[in-house]
Structure 1
Amino acid sequence: MTAKPAAAAPASSRFYALASRVEAATTAAELGFAICNDTRLLVDYRQAALVVMGSAPRPSRLVAHSGLADVDPNTPYALWLSGVTKAIAARCAELPANARVLPLSPDLLDEELATAWSEWFPAQVWVLPLMGPDKTVAALLFLGRDEPWPTTLTSDGEEFALLHMAGLYGYAWWSLVARPSRVQRWWRAATSGRRLRYIAVGLLVVLLLPVREYTLVPAEIISLHSQVIASPREGVIRRMVILPNAAVKAGQVLAELDDTTLRNKLAVAQAELATANVEMHQAAQQAIESQNAKADLGMAEGKLHEREVDVASLQREVEKLEIRAPVDGVFVYSDPDDWAGRPVQTGERIGLLADPHTLGVRAWAPVGEPTNLEGGAPMTVFLKTAPLSPIGARLDYAGYQSVESPTGVASYVLRGTVDGDASAARIGLQGTARVSGRWSVLGYLLLRRPLATVRAWCGV
């Protein structure tokens, strides 16, 4: 239901009543409805239309109309209003501040729009630009009626109050619809005049800052001097004597192979040796008494020597059942339970005997990393156990042939030497290594991946 002007009430009271309704609007739809219908508290009119100013590529559109709760911006009437708004937009922006109203007539429109005037508008139409604090026209309010609008405005007249209310409408509409966000306000301030030039110069200076190329790769601490501990013979691991990563001395037993079969063979060979020794003594006694027994003595001596060789050979094999450390170091291998009862072949690797005093770094650089991996490049290792205590290192070499890293990525193997404080490092610890490359500028460091992708895609 539309409001009707109360002729008995003074214009000031009606003005404040309308202002309170505008203030109570919380959405653009509520505000548009109040503007088009409740403005009758100030002046009488036959129809009112609120059209939002458009900007490319979005044209002007009808958003509210008197007597309607909802409008369709695609009706012929709405499209005609959009064309009228476009035709008079420049005139509305040039109106003086003390009389911001445009008496609209068909003479201000082109022939096509003027022809349809009688179909959509009454004879007398005022256009009130709704302008916000940014001094831009956000919308146009069309008020049409059959009675002529006054040509002069007095301070106590209803039409004069209407002009002030149009200013209030403009601020309210700007606050609900056209008010820019904080990001938009910051961008407008940043891109205005001299400030934009300062930002451009500052950005250029930042992009030209000298920085060193680097790449982050997974890494682990290793020993530069290590020996492979392999199985000396074929057999089955009975038990691992030394726990993983334990310090050992030279000659200390590291692991034991199962000795059941071999010791049984040794027992049989020793029994045969004892028998051969008895037969040798008997043959020697008989050779003293009979010349014919001397031939049997030679055969007994050969058989005895053969049994002695068998026993010595088996004894050497039994000694190999205990795998011992050749030098001092740290025995590095996997879980002992994984090795107990496992069959091994001669020369099969069981673990590493590493020197804990010569530490190095082994890393895997993915093939896609563009950093130049040159010998002598500085490295910084951040261990997972001590991320706040980086370790300095130096890159010794990078492999030319790619291999599969523990994470399943095709990578180049990197090896380096720890040359910093290695008190927090021990063999087997893992982390991330930063490998530094050549000096460049920050802009190239930020854009090198996009440039490489574009070049691979377009071939330029």
Structure 2
Amino acid sequence: MEATKIITPVIPVQNRAIVQPQPQQQAAINTVLARLVNLSVSALRAESLQKAGNIIVNQIHTIVKAERVVIVPLKDKDRILCISGDLEPSQDNSFAQAAQEIRKAFGKESEPKVISKETLPQDLNAHNAEKVLEAMGGTQLLWMLVPPPHGKSPMYALWLERWENRPWTEEEIKLLSHATVFFGHALVPREKAKKTAKARLKLWLTMGIIFLGMFFPIPARITAPVQIMPDHPYYVFAPFDGTIESLAVKPGEKIKKGDLIFRYDTRMLEKRLEEAQRGSLAVALAELARLEGAAYSEEEARARIPVQKLEVERRKSEVTFLQQQMGMSEVRSEAEGVVVLDDPDALIGASVQTGELVMSIADPKQTKLRIMVPVSDAGWIKEGSAAVAWLDSDPMRSIYAKVNRIGFDVRMSDKHIPSILVEAEWEKKESANAMPGARGTARIDGPKVSIGLYFFRKPLMLLRTVIGI
């Protein structure tokens, strides 16, 4: 009996069995995907393209490890859009030039490209890029284009570095390829949100209120520099020509009548007086004595005596004049008050002429305000206008006055502004007791004008000057 063969059919295996990941691997995958979604949402919600780029380069390390991340524009004149750890990347350093060289070489590569010093084309002549790839123990640069939405041409590329020649895995490159799809939607210019009807209504109401407020009347107030000046001071003039040797007073010093103010240099006077006494006068007296002795026998001598007497008197007058000048070489005050003097050092050694003003002595109880008002504001000031002054020495104290004189001549102020001199008198006598020479700021109240005219008057004046309307 023949043995029966049992043929077992062979079923071909068409598909391999799918290996399910382990629980730990599945948890890691879920974590990476959650981080990718979080990064993409943050970039998409960014207020501007620049902020979206900063979010990408500074948070991409949550899904892949990279030491440095850069977003490189492909068509813009800037070489770097964003770089990790730097809010304002430089466009002129060697790294930016390296980005320019890599962009020029691989800007049209549609597939991700891992670049190292060994894979860099030799004919590229990219010295800066070579230095970047040589640094940090060898750099593995991953270059991939960021696909834009709606099928447009790529505008940016992603630059990721790993140092010490650590390689990029195929899984990481695939993950980043998926991530760049979201990044492409985030790296687009933002459109400004349209204003709602309520916002437009609020804007029009605000503009209407501002427009109507322009017609609200307010007093025109002019602010200008002010200086306390003596009222009817005693002026000290030079009594004769000469050179001032020294000053005996200081600016602001209180002096009494008869106090020494300054001295002349008397060396030339002393020399001239000695020459006049011992020379000219002595010779004239000797000649007169000789003529008087010879007058008994000589008729010519008797005739010359009257002329010689006149010569003696002239020489005596010269000596007397020099003695009077010596007596006036020490100039003393003829009034009591405070010394008003701008620059005392400029007087020492200065030559003065007869009648030249040297200084003034003011009574502190008799002062006035001198206000240098710009010419553009002078039209609003009238005699009797109220004024308020704040001195630099006491800025918290308000001193009230009234305008009593308005000048007509245009002068240059200390700030080189064409101005009109305006004087004001104190409203209260006790306010006049201010130190002459003190400076500060004054405000003069003018007529009431609209707010619009008050604030836009000077721009309109400038516009009229430029355009001629």
Which residue in 1 is equivalent to 2:415? 407
Q: Does structure 1 residue 429 correspond to structure 2 residue 426? A: no
Counterpart in the other structure of 1:319: 327
Give the Å deviation of 1:283.
7.7
Partner of 2:114: none
CA contact (8 A) 1:214 1:371 kept: no
Counterpart check, 1:210 vs 2:226 = no
State the partner residue of 1:58. none
Which amino acid in structure 1 is aligned with residue 459 of structure 2? P
Instruction: Give how far 1:347 is off.
Output: 2.9
Match among 416, 419, 423 for residue 424 of structure 2: 416
Q: Is the CA contact (8 Å cut-off) linking 2:241 and 2:352 kept in structure 1?
A: yes
Distance 1:424-1:204 versus aligned 2 partners, 3 A rule: farther
Q: Distance in 2 between matches of 1:188 and 1:443?
A: 30
> After the TM superposition, which of the residue ranges 401-410 and 199-208 deviates more from structure 2?
199-208
Letter in 2 for 1:426: M
Change over 3 Å in CA distance of 1:203–1:279 after alignment to 2: same
Q: Residue 244 in 1 paired to residue 227 in 2? A: no
**Superposed CA offset, 1:268-288 (max 9, x none):** 43446567668878888998x
1:70 aligns with 2:128: no
Alignment match, 1:394: 402
User: What aligned pairs does 1:122-201 form with structure 2 within 5 A after superposition?
Assistant: 191=199, 193=201, 199=206
Match of 2:273 in 1: 266
Tell me, yes or no, if structure 1 residue 446 matches structure 2 residue 462: no
Cα offsets for 1:106-143 (capped at 9, x unmatched) = xxxxxxxxxxxxxxxxxxxxxxxxxxxxxxxxxxxxxx
Q: Is the 8 A contact 1:208 1:441 kept in 2?
A: yes
Amino acid at match of 1:406: D
Match 2:261 to one of 244, 254, 261: 254
Structure 2 partner of 1:219: 226
- Percent identity of paired positions between Structure 1 and Structure 2: 24
Secondary structure, aligned partner of 1:390:
strand
Which residue is equivalent to 2:314? 306
Q: Is the 1:222–1:359 contact (alpha carbons within 8 Å) kept by the matching residues of 2?
A: yes
Partner letter of residue 325 of structure 1? S
Aligned mates of 2:153, 2:317 — CA distance in 1: 119
Q: Report the Cα offset of residue 69 of structure 1.
A: 7.4
Q: 1:21 to 1:381 in 2, by over 3 A?
A: same
Letter in 2 for 1:262: L
2:345 corresponds to which of 337, 348, 352: 337
Shift of 1:459: 3.2
SS in 2 for 1:331: strand
Tell me what 1:130 maps to: none
Q: Please say which of residues 318-327 and 379-388 is displaced more in the overlay.
A: 318-327
Structure 1 residues 20 and 424, CA, compared in 2 at 3 Å: closer, same or farther?
farther
* Contact kept in structure 1, 2:372 and 2:413, CA below 8 Å: yes
Shift of 1:435: 2.3
What letter matches 2:238 in structure 1?
S
Shift of 1:451: 2.7
Rounded Cα–Cα distance in structure 2 between residues aligned with 1:401 and 1:426: 27
Deviation at 1:238, TM superposition (A): 0.9
TM superposition shift of 1:350: 1.8
The answer for the alignment partner of 2:464 in structure 1 is 455
Between the aligned partners of 1:275 and 1:339, the Cα distance in structure 2 is 39
| Post-superposition CA distance 1:384-424 (Å, at most 9, x none) | 22222132222233333322222223222222223355378
Look up the match of 1:42: none
Hey, what's the Cα distance between the residues in 2 that align with 1:305 and 1:382? Answer: 63
Code of the aligned partner of 1:337: D
SS at match of 1:311: helix
Structure 1's unaligned 5+ residue stretches are 1-5, 7-16, 32-67, 79-172
Q: Which letter maps to 2:43?
A: T
* Equivalent residues, number: 315
Cα pair distance change 1:403/1:335, threshold 3 Å: closer
Residues 139-174 of structure 1 show CA distances to partners (whole Å, capped at 9, x for unaligned) of xxxxxxxxxxxxxxxxxxxxxxxxxxxxxxxxxx9x
Aligned in 2, Cα 1:350/1:73: closer, same or farther, shift over 3 Å?
farther
Q: 2:173 maps to what in 1? A: none
Q: Work out whether residues 239 and 255 of structure 1, in 8 Å CA contact, stay in contact via their aligned partners in 2.
A: yes
User: How far apart are 1:192 and its partner, in Å?
Assistant: 5.8
Instruction: Provide the rounded CA distance (Å) in 1 between the counterparts of 2:375 and 2:304.
Output: 76
1:237 deviation in Å?
Answer: 0.9
In the superposition, relative to structure 1, how do residues 371 and 304 fare at CA in structure 2: closer, same or farther (>3 Å)? Answer: closer
Cα 1:231–1:450 change in 2 (3 A) is same
Gaps of 5+ in 2: 1-19, 21-31, 47-51, 53-143, 155-185
Q: Tell me, in whole angstroms, the C-alpha distance in 2 between the residues paired with 1:425 and 1:189.
A: 61
Determine if contact 2:222/2:445 at 8 Å carries over to the other structure. Answer: yes
User: In the alignment, what sits opposite 1:364?
Assistant: 372
Q: Distance in 1 between matches of 2:259 and 2:378?
A: 47
Equivalent residue letter for 2:453: Y
Does the Cα contact within 8 Å between 1:394 and 1:417 map onto a contact in 2? yes
* Alignment check: 8 A CA contact 2:367 2:433 kept: no
Aligned to 1:377: 385
In the alignment, the residues of structure 2 paired with residue 279 and residue 222 of structure 1 have an alpha-carbon distance, to the nearest angstrom, of 59
Give 1:427 shift: 1.1
C-alpha separation in 2, matches of 1:28 and 1:370: 60
Conservation of the 8 A alpha-carbon contact between 1:213 and 1:371: no
Please report the TM-score for the alignment, with normalisation by the length of structure 2: 0.54
Hey, what's the Cα distance between the residues in 1 that align with 2:379 and 2:150? Answer: 58
Q: State the alpha-carbon separation in 2 of the partners of residues 456 and 299 from structure 1.
A: 76
Which residue is equivalent to 1:109? none
2:49 matched to which residue of 1?
none
8 Å CA contact retained: 1:396, 1:416: yes
Counterpart Cα distance in 2 of 1:298 and 1:21: 129
Structure-2 change in CA distance of 1:291 and 1:380 (3 Å): same
**1:266/1:209 CA distance change after superposition, 3 Å:** same
Q: Which amino acid aligns with 2:246?
A: R
How far off is 1:341 after superposition?
Answer: 1.6
